[in-house]
Amino acid sequence: GAVVSQHPSWVICKSGTSVKIECRSLDFQATTMFWYRQFPKQSLMLMATSNEGSKATYEQGVEKDKFLINHASLTLSTLTVTSAHPEDSSFYICSAQDRSSGNTIYFGEGSWLTVV
Amino acid sequence: TQLLEQSPQFLSIQEGENLTVYCNSSSVFSSLQWYRQEPGEGPVLLVTVVTGGEVKKLKRLTFQFGDARKDSSLHITAAQPGDTGLYLCAGHRGYQKVTFGIGTKLQVIP
């Protein structure tokens, strides 16, 4: 099946710094990728929809200046958490939509962010 | 706005029992997908249903798409501890128009 890869799997950063998470579709082109946040024992919370070559569409309540999304190519989207604070610590997951297989969505493995 | 209602949200059962998870909507979907997520990992695609009334089986898991393509169910027969996880449904109404259910957290007790 299609593979979506996230990097890094784990990251620890200091408060006030920025951290970038990458999401790659390895064997298909993804004009649309999605970014989610997941708190322990809860479901996925959609943060934004990332469109290749255009601005991301953010969900209500998600700060676009805090969570910068770039989708510069058909296989790569990045999420940058700027000026990170401990409350930004979470499990971040991306997914990519494969138009060639009926718009099937495949998820990445997730990235654990800990802000200290 | 939660356009795809998933129920139950939590389910704790004994090993060997059967269970059904439902996803319901007032919208018609072109396709619907089910995923399972284990703690600390990304969701893994289980199945895609496309045709109204379609039934797909994956070992002890049976997936059904409603005739009107507005709802779907996941039935697990003789649940095993390895079935424990978060089950998500996602409905598609065209490219980029995808809606996720809130998830069902299943715990199978040995």
Q: Model confidence over A17-49: pLDDT tens digits?
A: 999 999 999 999 998 999 999 988 788 888 999
Residue A99 phi/psi, 5° resolution? -65, -25
B83 to chain A nearest CA, in Å?
Answer: 16
Contacts of B44 in chain A (CB under 8 A): 107
In 3-state terms chain A splits into helix, strand, coil percentages (rounded to 5) of 5, 55, 40
Kindly determine whether residue B42 and residue A107, on different chains, have CB atoms separated by under 8 Å: yes
With an 8 Å Cβ cutoff, are A97 and B96 in contact? yes
Dmax over CA atoms of chain B, in Å, equals 41
Q: Taking CB atoms and an 8 Å cut-off, how many pairs form between chains A and B?
A: 60
Q: pLDDT tens per residue, chain A (116 residues)?
A: 669 999 999 999 999 999 999 999 999 999 899 999 998 878 888 899 998 888 899 999 999 999 999 998 999 999 999 999 999 999 999 999 888 887 788 999 999 999 99
CA distance B49 to chain A (A): 10
Q: Is the CB of B100 inside 8 Å of chain A's CB atoms?
A: yes
Cα–Cα separations (whole angstroms), residue B30 to A49, B87, B92, B108: 20, 20, 6, 32
Which residues 6+ apart lie within 8 Å of B52 measured at CB? B65, B66, B67, B68, B69
Phi, psi of B82 (to 5 degrees): -70, -10
